[in-house]
Amino acid sequence: MATATSNMHVAIAKPFTFPSCEVSKSSVAVFSGGIREASWTKLKSSCHISSTHVISQNIASSPVKFNRLVTKAISESNDTKPLPGLPIDLRGKRAFIAGIADDNGYGWAIAKSLAAAGAEILVGTWVPALNIFETSLRRGKFDESRVLPDGSLMEITKEVAESVKEDFGSIDILVHSLANGPEVSKPLLETSRYGYLAAISASSYSYVSLLKHFVPIMNPGGASISLTYIAAERIIPGYGGGMSSAKAALESDTKVLAFEAGRKHRIRVNTISAGPLGSRAAKAIGFIDMMIDYSSENAPLQKELSAEEVGNAAAFLASPLASAITGTVLYVDNGLNAMGVGVDSPVFKDLNIPRDNQR
């Protein structure tokens, strides 16, 4: 366990082009932490977000273009001594996280966990969400989530940087937190070809494209992480428009990419199957609150999943502690994936099903 001091700067980098996704402006935030003594409960950090621009995606077929989008985190600690015990130490590592649009989703949580472990964070946001993101920051809507472990408030400054490669040289961690299905509310049988292919393009192929373009500047031994959902392998009524197919493709691609990126570049590739979270993006589906309640009633661990728990799992996968883990789907869902039936069904009313009496 350790006490960390982190300094966050958001920077913007000039365009980076990816086939299949177009990022016009990019939002960038930087988190970094220099870890010192013992105790994650006393993480001290002082962050600066230097600017907000976004990742825009053109679902059609035009290349994805990241325009000025980078966040830079600078650690204030020069301590390079090994930490005691078995901590997650990402000091000296740099991560790029694609797909952050607000402060209550998994992307933001992953950024904070990586920063708490000492990593420098570069963040990209969807172009359509840029105005909302910047306005929310300006009006103080993110103030509560900007509060750091030591009680200080993350400061925001303005900076402009060159492209990721020119300005930062290389990265060690790549996180894909992008998903979109324009017809997600439609049953699969009613989904159009456009809607289906758009979901696959934005939610699955975008990861292939992202990794393809970042691999050349990733240091050997690096890690890439994406986010998937149990709908990839189980039926989730209401999660339509080809999104279940897109998540299934993402999980399959994770295995193939783990082989190819591992053999050619010594990069590990994993995906986290996260449980339901009431983020802004998830609320667009329309039934996320029901899924959260269902999970609480039926998962082995009867509690609401927090974004921080997923962020911490990502920090582990990105760290040397997971150096032999690749091609894996890591479930962070309170164990819901292990259930074969919903135990809250009236069918089981006469069974003596154990419950968490401390809820």
Establish whether 45 is a catalytic residue. no
Catalytic residue status for 247 = yes
Separation between Cα atoms, residue 227 and residue 305, nearest integer Å? 15
User: Cα(82)–Cα(84) distance, rounded to whole angstroms?
Assistant: 7
The Cα-based distances of 192 to 81, 181, 233 in angstroms read: 57, 11, 22
| Antiparallel, parallel or unpaired: β 120-126 and 54-55 | parallel
| Gap between the Cα atoms of 271 and 251, Å rounded | 7
User: Other C-beta atoms within 10 Å of 181: how many?
Assistant: 27
Do 177 and 97 form a contact (C-beta atoms < 8 A)? yes
> Among residues 187, 180, 166, 188, which one has the least CA distance to residue 126?
180
C-alpha triplet 31, 64, 174: angle, nearest 5°: 35
- Catalytic one among 20, 56, 204, 295? 204
One DSSP character per residue, 291-354 reads HHHHHHHHSSS-S---HHHHHHHHHHHHSGGGTT--S-EEEESTTGGG-SS-TTSGGGTTS---
* Widest distance between CA atoms in the chain: 65
Contact status, residue 29 vs residue 49, Cβ threshold 8 Å: yes
Query: Could you count the other beta carbons within 10 Å of the beta carbon of residue 266?
Result: 13
Q: Which token pair is 105?
A: 């989703």
Catalytically annotated residue among 44, 72, 93, 247: 247
- In single-letter form, the type of residue at position 33 comes to G
d(CA 197, CA 241): 9
Task: Name the amino acid, one letter, at 11.
Answer: A
Could you tell me how far CA 95 lies from the centroid of its own chain? 11
Q: Which residues are catalytic?
A: 204, 247
